[in-house]
Each structure stands twice: as structure tokens, then as C-alpha cells.
């Protein structure tokens, strides 16, 4: 039996968005705002799931922390698309 822990520090994500990653974008060089938002929500969900896997012992701290770093880096990269100079 796994114990569900609500971490107040995690960012909530909107479950109405589908799971979407950059490779799913229709035009990878010019994603829509919807695609960017759906992708950031997917990455938030992945981050939250990884934290829960670390806390439950499903994955080791080292592997989990590396995964969290990759997810956070991808999140920042995608988020920066919203603030590109025009």
C-alpha cells in the first residue's frame, strides 16, 4: 500500500491538457501557445510523478535526481519559448 503525500511545494498542473512533448508538436520550429502550455503541464506532471517515485523508493535518489534535473532543464527550455524576443 502506497502512502499518497501532497507536497505543497510542487506546482499544480491542469489535468485537462493532454500529455504532450516537443516531439509531438505539429511544427517543431514554431509551436503554438497551446502546445507550449500542454508541454509545460506534461513536464510538471512528470516532475511530480518522479518525486513520488523517489519518495516511495521505486527509484534510487541518484537516478531520480538526474531525472528531475533533465525534466527541469526541459521545462525551462520550453518555458523560454514564451519569452523569445520578437
Cα–Cα distance, 57 to 72 (Å, whole number): 21
Residue 2 domain flag:
no
The structure's pTM equals 0.74
Cα–Cα distance, 43 to 30 (Å, whole number): 19
Residue 11 domain flag:
no
Residue 23 domain flag:
no
Residue 34 domain flag:
yes
Q: Which domain holds residue 36?
A: 30-81
The radius of gyration computed from the CA coordinates of the chain, to the nearest angstrom, equals: 14
Number of domains into which the chain is organized: 1
Residue 40 domain flag:
yes
In b/e form, how buried is each residue of 27-55, taking b as 16+ CB within 10 angstroms?
eeeebeeebbbbbbbbbbbbbbebbbebe
Cα–Cα distance, 32 to 68 (Å, whole number): 25
Q: What is the maximum span of the chain, computed from C-alpha positions, in angstroms?
A: 51
Q: pLDDT tens digit string along 42-77?
A: 999 999 999 999 999 999 999 999 999 999 999 999
Residue 45 domain flag:
yes
Q: pLDDT tens digit string along 30-43?
A: 898 889 889 999 99
Query: Is 29:54 a contact under the CB 8 Å cutoff?
Result: no
Residue 41 domain flag:
yes
Amino acid at each position: 500500500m502506497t502512502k499518497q503525500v501532497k507536497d505543497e511545494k510542487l506546482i499544480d498542473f491542469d489535468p485537462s491538457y493532454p500529455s504532450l512533448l516537443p516531439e509531438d508538436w505539429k511544427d517543431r520550429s514554431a509551436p503554438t501557445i497551446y502546445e507550449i502550455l500542454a508541454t509545460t503541464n506534461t513536464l510538471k506532471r512528470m516532475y511530480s510523478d518522479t518525486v513520488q517515485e523517489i519518495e516511495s523508493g521505486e527509484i534510487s535518489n541518484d537516478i531520480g535526481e538526474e531525472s528531475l534535473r533533465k525534466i527541469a532543464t526541459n521545462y525551462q527550455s520550453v518555458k523560454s519559448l514564451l519569452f523569445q524576443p520578437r
